[in-house]
Amino acid sequence: MPETLIKVDLKQSPYENEQIHNRWHPDIPMACWVKPGDDFKLETYDWTGGFIKNDESADDVRDIDLTIVHFLSGPVGVEGAEPGDLLVVDLLDIGAKEDSLWGFNGFFSKNNGGGFLTDHFPQAQKSIWDISGLYTHSRHVPGVKFPGLIHPGLIGCLPDPKLLETWNTREMDFIATDPDRVPPLAAPPCAKTAHAGKATGDVKTKIAAEGARTVPPREHGGNCDIKDLSRGSKIFFPVYVKGAGLSVGDLHFSQGDGEITFCGAIEMAGWVHMKVSLIKGGMAKYGIKNPIFKPSPITPNYNDYLIFEGISVDEAGKQYYLDVHIAYRQACLNAINYMTKFGYTPAQAYSILGTAPVQGHISGVVDIPNACATLWLPTQIFDFDINPSAAGPVKSVTTDVPMPLSPDVI
Ligand code: ZN
């Protein structure tokens, strides 16, 4: 039996758990230590530490203070790990916590985080997804059921002081280019809500003041939200500090490429069973700057898709130069519009793109002036035929439980 080195009590605030932290900083004390070759389990909160509830109101999504995220389990120290090594992490298995077999997906208000399609969905909404073994379905989004491609949205090692300074400097400089933007350009350090694990006194104060927020993916990996980094994957992480300091959290039962809904995929509390080993000096040997990984041998076996194209011309008809972000947005909007013809509300269709194992591809980036992105919608997740036909779309979806929506309070 692998030992559970970090335990999480969902009834307890994550701030009271010393093996949890929500910032990146080299001085965060190791929560526990393992040896190369060890396998062990870590339990995790959902990324909000239990703030989002399984209920019929989106007020929690609207009102959440996003400076509290992400609550991570760790850092796990690995004996013998030194800067320049590669930490090899086998994700042996991942699951939902037995006392919490559900997850959430939502859209943040444009005034509190926003999301990929925030101009189209500016108000807070959420959907709750029940987890039943391999499968998930939602009372708020009928007509779909799919197996989970379970993965950690966030996993990585602690930065060293130089890398931390690089992150903070470049992101603060970026924010300074448009400091009043809504949503903001980046997330600066925020001492008030920092959780520095076991740290106390001056060290805790220093971590709170300087600790990098966990929102963006960075050179160490971090919040990459890669749906294919699923159980069974093997990841090779750059090591920057003695002991590596591996942390993990933000578990997703399932997610579409891009995690476009931002709050987020199907977010859940759970556990990760992993094994660690080292490649000494591996960063230089393999020329590694960002993590690399091998995919899982197990993936949902979809072989039929409806594929939506998008080009780098925005909703107003403005031309952009080979802009993949605009092109993917158009592909997503095209898919949402199509799904509404079968009875979905636009919000339900958006939720499906955020939660189901939808693929996003950069299809063309050289044919000036338009980039082409494609969104692959697996047709087999639907319990009706979603393909186009000469007969036209059949309204197949009726909703008994409306998707919770909470307008902003003015
Ligand atoms: Zn997430």
For ligand 1, the distance from its centroid to the CA atom of residue 317, given in whole angstroms, is 32
- Token pair belonging to 216: 């963006």
For ligand 1, the distance from its centroid to the CA atom of residue 285, given in whole angstroms, is 32
For ligand 1, the distance from its centroid to the CA atom of residue 70, given in whole angstroms, is 9
Q: Using DSSP, state whether 347 is helix, strand or coil.
A: helix
For ligand 1, the distance from its centroid to the CA atom of residue 219, given in whole angstroms, is 19
- Token pair belonging to 389: 């036909």
For ligand 1, the distance from its centroid to the CA atom of residue 56, given in whole angstroms, is 20
Q: Which parts of the chain sit beneath pLDDT 50?
A: none
For ligand 1, the distance from its centroid to the CA atom of residue 209, given in whole angstroms, is 24
pLDDT at site 265 = 96
Strand ranges, E, within 17-61: 20-21, 32-34, 39-44
For ligand 1, the distance from its centroid to the CA atom of residue 368, given in whole angstroms, is 34
pLDDT at site 70 = 97
For ligand 1, the distance from its centroid to the CA atom of residue 263, given in whole angstroms, is 7
Long-range pairs for 108-113: beta carbons < 8 A, 24 or more residues apart: 108/61, 108/62, 108/64, 108/66, 108/262, 108/263, 109/61, 109/62, 109/406, 109/408, 110/182, 110/183, 111/182, 111/183, 111/408, 112/62, 112/63, 112/64, 112/66, 112/183, 113/66, 113/183, 113/262, 113/263
pLDDT at site 21 = 98
pLDDT at site 369 = 98
Q: What are 289-305's pLDDT values in tens digits?
A: 999 999 999 988 899 99
pLDDT at site 349 = 98
For ligand 1, the distance from its centroid to the CA atom of residue 249, given in whole angstroms, is 8
CB 62 within 8 A of CB 111: no
- Token pair belonging to 406: 């909470």
pLDDT at site 301 = 87
For ligand 1, the distance from its centroid to the CA atom of residue 48, given in whole angstroms, is 9
For ligand 1, the distance from its centroid to the CA atom of residue 270, given in whole angstroms, is 12
In the chain the domains, ranked by start, together with CATH numbers, are 3-294 (2.60.120.580), 305-396 (3.10.28)
For ligand 1, the distance from its centroid to the CA atom of residue 388, given in whole angstroms, is 33
